[in-house]
Amino acid sequence: MARKLNSILVTGGCGFIGSNFINYLFNKSAASSLSGNKDLFMDSGFKGRVVNVDCLTYAGNPENLSQVQEEFGNTRYFFEKSDITDKQRIEEIFKKYEIDTVIHFAAESHVDRSILGPEAFIKTNVLGTYTLLEVARNYWNVSLDNPRDDVLFHHISTDEVYGSLGENGFFREDTPYSPRSPYSASKASSDHIAMAYYHTFALPVTLSNCSNNYGPYQFPEKLIPLMILNMCSAKPLPVYGEGKNIRDWIYVEDHNRAVWQIINNGITGQKYNIGGENEWQNIKLLDKLIEITSKEANLDINAVKATITHVKDRPGHDVRYAIDCSKIKKELGWERKMTFEEGLVMTVKWYLKNTQWVKNIQNGSYRQWLEKNYDKR
From 77, 162, 183, 214, the catalytic residue: 183
From 80, 108, 160, 279, the catalytic residue: 160
Cα gap 68→59, rounded to integer Å: 19
Cα gap 4→171, rounded to integer Å: 32
Strand-pair partners of 53: 11, 80
Instruction: Establish whether 183 is a catalytic residue.
Output: yes
Concatenated DSSP letters of 3-44: ---SEEEEETTTSHHHHHHHHHHTT--TTGGG-S-GGGS---
From 54, 159, 248, 277, the catalytic residue: 159
Residues 158 and 125: beta-carbon distance below 8 Å: no
CA quadruple 234, 239, 245, 246: dihedral, nearest 10? -10
Phi, psi of 177 (to 5 degrees): -75, 140
Instruction: Establish whether 160 is a catalytic residue.
Output: yes
- CA proximity to 201, closest of 138, 156, 270, 154: 138
CB-hemisphere CA count at 13 Å for 16? 23
Residues annotated as catalytic (active site), given as ranges: 159-160, 183
